[in-house]
Structure 1
Amino acid sequence: MPDFTIDPRTTALLNVDVQNCFVENSPVAAKHGPDIIPLVNDIAEAVRRNGGLVVHTLHVVRPDGSTTGVMGEFNAAIKAGLLFKGNPAAELHKDVVVAPADVIMDKPRYGAFYGTELDVILKNRGIETVIVTGITTNVCCETTAREANMRDLQVLFASDATATFDLPEVTAEQIQQSVCATLAMAFAQVATAATIVDKLSLQRSAVSV
């Protein structure tokens, strides 16, 4: 696994889909959804403090089904109407800290790059490294990490600031371990939130010298 040297000023946090229905009180809520929010907030504050960009994404679709595509055949949250634009269940969770300079961006698919302005936003800010946090680890977070890697962005994946839910034959913990191992092998540097915060602060000091 690589150990990236980063410039925090050219780093963006991609906080993926920390929405009400994915955090708690929903059939599609992540097992430890509420627990990751303080860690997400810690990373976001470190990114802002050291000159980077924070982007929060929301996975939403049109209620008329015109933007769901094949994804709508598999996605339980869409079938239940939880991700319909305008549904409170699809809104960003109240405990996520959003600063005035943060970007809040809707996305119509699992990955944050497909069908959005994210690529343009990152290029305009000169972003070279992205940090991925959010829900769910093995769907929207992993897809976003892979999309970023394919665009030659350095990817830091937060192992404890991402979360998922159990599947019929696989636990959330097993999924988390497998996704992090796969990403570390070929797509990202996987690290804890505390390590990422330290990395941002230390390397900000280094580039300021």
Structure 2
Amino acid sequence: MTDFTFTPARAALINVDLQNCFVEGSPLASPEGPALVARINELAAACRDAGMLVVHTRGWMRPDGSNLGVMAEIVPPFMIELYTEGFEAAELHSSLEVDDRDVILSKPRYGAFHGTDLDLVLRSRGVDTVIISGIATNICCDTTAREAAQRDFRVFFLSDGTATKEMAGVPADELQRATCASLSMVFAQVITVDDMIARIRAGAPTGDLSPAGVG
């Protein structure tokens, strides 16, 4: 099993698509959405305490459809509308804690690196390690993790910091297990939120350690 070295000063958290349409209240939402956001808020706070960058991505299609490409032939229009600029469903969920130091990244495809300046943002800060959280595990989170690995970033993928929903008759828990299993083979180190927080706090400068210690 992969066991990457971890240095908080060279790491960033990428929260994938914690938008209204994926968190709750839409056909695309994960049943775990609200609980997932609460776990990620705790993780993001630990990251900021350690001086790490936190990035929030969002699927963000142009209202005129000019950047849809082949997606217009694959994805039903009602689904695309849910993450189109200008629609409330596309906005980051109100329970997600976003700090002034965080980066909000709009992306036109499932992976956070394609068609964005994420690679530049990370490398300009000396980041060589990313932590992937968000929704949906087997689509945007998986794609982002694979893109990162192919760019030689060390990838930590959160087994309980990502979530999905039933798709094409396959239950969410099966999709979750299959995605984590595939990624763990050749793309990422799969880890829980609690274990990730512990590693962040253990590697942070003494002055940044939480008074509560590792939970």
Fold conserved between structures, TM > 0.5: yes
Name the structure 1 match of 2:61.
61
Structure-1 separation of matches of 2:164 and 2:33? 8
Structure-1 separation of matches of 2:148 and 2:13? 12
What does residue range 2-81 of structure 1 map to in structure 2 within 5 Å?
Answer: 2-76=2-76, 79=79, 81=81
Q: Please give the per-residue CA displacement for 1:127-176, whole angstroms capped at 9, x wherever unaligned.
A: 01100000100000000000000010000001111111101321000000
SS at match of 2:100: coil
Letter in 2 for 1:96: L
Structure-2 separation of matches of 1:38 and 1:3? 26
Task: Give the TM-score taking structure 2 as reference length.
Answer: 0.92
SS at match of 1:29: coil
Q: Please give the per-residue CA displacement for 1:22-80, whole angstroms capped at 9, x wherever unaligned.
A: 11110111121111011111111111111110000010101211111112322347645
Residue 23 to residue 3, structure 1, CA distance change in 2 (3 Å):
same
Unaligned runs of 5+ in 2: 209-215
Structure-2 separation of matches of 1:159 and 1:172? 13
Q: Please give the per-residue CA displacement for 1:165-192, whole angstroms capped at 9, x wherever unaligned.
A: 1013210000000000000011000011
SS at match of 2:110: coil
Letter in 1 for 2:93: H
Letter in 2 for 1:23: V
Name the structure 1 match of 2:178.
178
Letter in 2 for 1:92: L
Structure-1 separation of matches of 2:171 and 2:31? 10
Letter in 2 for 1:187: F
Residue 80 to residue 6, structure 1, CA distance change in 2 (3 Å):
closer
Task: Give the TM-score taking structure 1 as reference length.
Answer: 0.95
CA contact under 8 A between 1:77 and 1:83: conserved in structure 2? no
Name the structure 2 match of 1:95.
95
Name the structure 1 match of 2:136.
136
Letter in 2 for 1:83: Y
What does residue range 80-159 of structure 1 map to in structure 2 within 5 Å?
Answer: 81-159=81-159
Letter in 2 for 1:34: P
Unaligned runs of 5+ in 1: none
SS at match of 1:34: helix
